[in-house]
Amino acid sequence: MVTTLTSPTLRLQSAPPIISVEAMISEVTALASLPGACQRVMEIADDQRASARDMAEIISLDPGLAARLLRLVNSAYYGLPQPIDNVAQAVHVIGTNALRNLALATGAVSAFRGISNQLVDMASFWNASVHCGLMARALARIARHQQPERLFATGLLHAVGQLVMYHRAPERATLVLDQIRTAPQARPHIEQQVFGFTYCEVGAALLEAWRLPASMWLPILHHRTPQRASDFRSDTALLTIAQAVAAAVEPGVKAPGVPTSTTPDIDPVAWMQCGLAADVLAPAFEEVDAQWFDVIEIIVPGGTLVY
């Protein structure tokens, strides 16, 4: 007779050894790398000698990327009065930094298509991630942030560390998923117990390995503990709020027992660090609702089919 281990403690003892953050991302960076066009776009954006024309030429070399960016620029995401019909015009209208971050956002999703994740419904995961990105952007616009598109990209990528953990350590990740069904807000604490680190640390390490700027991976590192942020404190706080809202309305895990709520549990520290108050959530929700359907179909084609 075979005895099935049901105790979380016993299952943890029988699980494979913990993989370090560094070892965890070393394999994944080979499987999930940013498309070449996205890498080149970031290089051009960081090159002070490069022009807007250089940026447009690089994007135009990837027809798929160019098409997605033009669809996004012409969607409710921007709500421009006149249609934009070429990449050069898009660069002129919305700027090099904005296009860099939008290119990163659209390319990052495709980077994970080669990773097998049997533990998560990928459509649900990206729906929640897009919602977080849109909410972070909406809050950044209300806060008059200079680069709201950066907050969109950061919000979109805030949970990619979870995908890495699902892929590299499915046994331990299963233990985490079992426990967060009744306590989703305790996820970082549970991950710390099971892994010795959190998805925030893994995601930040991956983005740093991708050579993305610290203005993106540092907020991801601290978005569940905003009080620990010493740099980019406002960005971190905006991401903290956006994540809490997205977790309430789009949990990212479609499974029985996962509670949903329309009342986000937001760390008061986040409100103080970004200088906003809870009354901004209503207009932010309106902006996200107006943009979500268009954006999810562009960033994650077919993503609306789960609804």
Q: Is residue 6 part of a domain?
A: no
User: For the whole model, what pTM was predicted?
Assistant: 0.88
Q: Are 265 and 185 in contact (CB under 8 A)?
A: yes
105 lies in the same domain as 121 = no
In degrees, rounded to 5, the angle at the alpha carbon of residue 11 between the alpha carbons of residues 189 and 123 is 60
The residue from 111, 126, 149 where one domain ends is 111
What local confidence, expressed as pLDDT, does residue 262 receive? 52
266 lies in the same domain as 134 = yes
Residue 89 has pLDDT above 50, yes or no: yes
147 lies in the same domain as 215 = yes
Radius of gyration of the chain, Cα coordinates, nearest whole angstrom: 19
Q: Which has more confidence, 14 or 24?
A: 24
In angstroms, the CA 120 to CA 303 distance is: 14
Q: Is residue 12 part of a domain?
A: no
Residue 39 has pLDDT above 90, yes or no: no
Q: Is residue 197 part of a domain?
A: yes
CA 28 from chain centre, in angstroms, equals: 16
The residue from 111, 135, 163 where one domain ends is 111
131 lies in the same domain as 197 = yes
53 lies in the same domain as 160 = no
Domain that holds residue 148: 17-32+115-306
201 lies in the same domain as 286 = yes
Q: Token pair 């952007």 is at which residue?
A: 137
CATH of the domain at 237: 1.10.3210.10
Sequence-separated (6 or more) residues with CB below 8 Å from residue 69: 59, 87, 90, 99, 102, 103, 106
Q: Quote the DSSP letter at residue 39.
A: H
